[in-house]
Chains A and B, each alone.
Chain A
């Protein structure tokens, strides 16, 4: 059997005396969608922030396809093919769709030391394609994020992750503040990730959402993983007992 795509071993994290992660072990296989559930403060957010390079672990290791990696920054995570979508904080409202899609990774016409002129033409063109690829219909890449609905914004965030050929897509409460219709669309998209060759990790409060779209469900409580089963072998009631 091949090594898991992501493997977390003996991960610890302390915040000013609070032991937020207590030796977490987690394997995520390629092309599987894992649902991560748990109450507030269970450690889900801490775990995924470490995977997306926002936080550094105090102890423990991360392996990608068996190779030990250090994820020192969000940029480093992106280079490893790990893209993260946060509930609603992942975009800059005062900037256009195109600028948001490419911020930090702008296509440049020429550059010195990483700083250069943006190729606006290419950026706008690729933005429209990226948006179209995730089945989102927006009239212009120049529209501002502040002008979009919550669902449309989440769509742009998803387009961003998919455009950069992510191998792992982490979605942190992506359906918060969304309408029922928009939620259905996002969950449908998550379910379709393996077909596109992408591995998914969905963090949610809502067990029904996780059941609807994940292959496997992992529950956390008080900084530890307390439950881990394929979706087909469990029920909402069983998981609820662990939370």
Chain B
């Protein structure tokens, strides 16, 4: 029992990984090998970076003990701003940077309000969800602006790797995921993020600049969501003001399925990716095995509840264990 708890704290994503492998085998067998075919993997991995980036940002923020419900809206506002700048003849690269800067600013406001007025980030960012979505629609003028045909979308969308298995966005995703993972596991900043979420008062008393750590996580989360949105818009070649609707909850679901604790302090970047991938696998696998695709949300919902129940049960068991020791 003691070991099980240890494994959960150190590798909270393990159950998710096991489930992922199980489902992949199941879907592959049921679809007669079509599920793990190169064509299908290409489709699935092409979509992963967009949701995956959002999940990583949300997970890191949750580890430090806060929430962001405005990521779905940021997923739309950032590429909308970038698109409008490109249409106004700003160089693409600069437009992307400015878009991300706006995302950073919104993340800062989320954090600043939450920390200054000591209110739940759940509420701050719920408000921001509406504000940012509204801003997106207003600046779009009500319908998607037209991106120029010669836009350099290839930096995210061209197929690379053996047999053209991945889109370039997947490489971006991989690099960012590795950097985020290294930050959480190997840097002092990662240690501070975990400590801040694990026990805020203790972390502060031990000299961790908890307020600045939280602000950083809010900003990072918002920028990750914005970047995911930019990748999606470049793939679709159209900045729809409605994209990312409901994504905030999917990202929280991915984080939780990947083992992140709602109370903070526990979670990994790999868990976020596993969670996001599991959601994609369920989505795609249901189609490939010809199950009615309307069961998708049912499955994700059931999995989320199951993940939280089992995580909470583990922690409660651990607490009882401690009293006996």
Contact = CB atoms under 8 A, between A and B. Distances in A.
A74 interface: yes
A106 interface: yes
A105 B9 CA distance: 23
B187 A92 contact: no
A147 B6 contact: yes
6 contacts: A74-B205, A75-B209, A90-B205, A94-B266, A99-B191, A118-B188
Interface stretch (B23-31, B193-201, B296-304): B193-201
B199 A89 contact: yes
Nearest to B194: A95
A146 to B, nearest CB: 6
A171 interface: no
B187 A146 contact: no
Contacts of B203: 92, 103-104
A180 interface: no
B6 A93 contact: no
Query: DSSP majority for the B interface?
Result: helix
Contact of A104 (B207, B266, B318, B322): B207
Contacts of B52: none
Interface residues on B, range: 20 to 34
A138 interface: no
B192 interface: yes
Contacts, number: 95
Contacts of B322: 146-147, 149
A103 B199 contact: no
Interface residues of A, number: 34
Nearest to B182: A117
Q: Which 6 A-B pairs have the closest CB atoms?
A: A104-B207, A92-B198, A75-B207, A106-B188, A94-B265, A94-B198
B243 interface: no
Given A92-B202, A115-B187, A78 B194 contact: no
Contacts of A104: 192, 195, 203, 206-208
A163 B10 CA distance: 26
A144 interface: yes
Given A92-B265, A146-B322, A118 B191 contact: yes
A146 B9 contact: yes
A90 B206 CA distance: 7
Given A73-B207, A95-B265, A103-B191, 17 more contacts: A74-B205, A74-B206, A91-B199, A94-B9, A94-B194, A94-B266, A95-B195, A99-B195, A103-B207, A104-B192, A104-B207, A104-B208, A106-B188, A118-B186, A144-B10, A146-B322, A160-B206
A52 B199 CA distance: 18
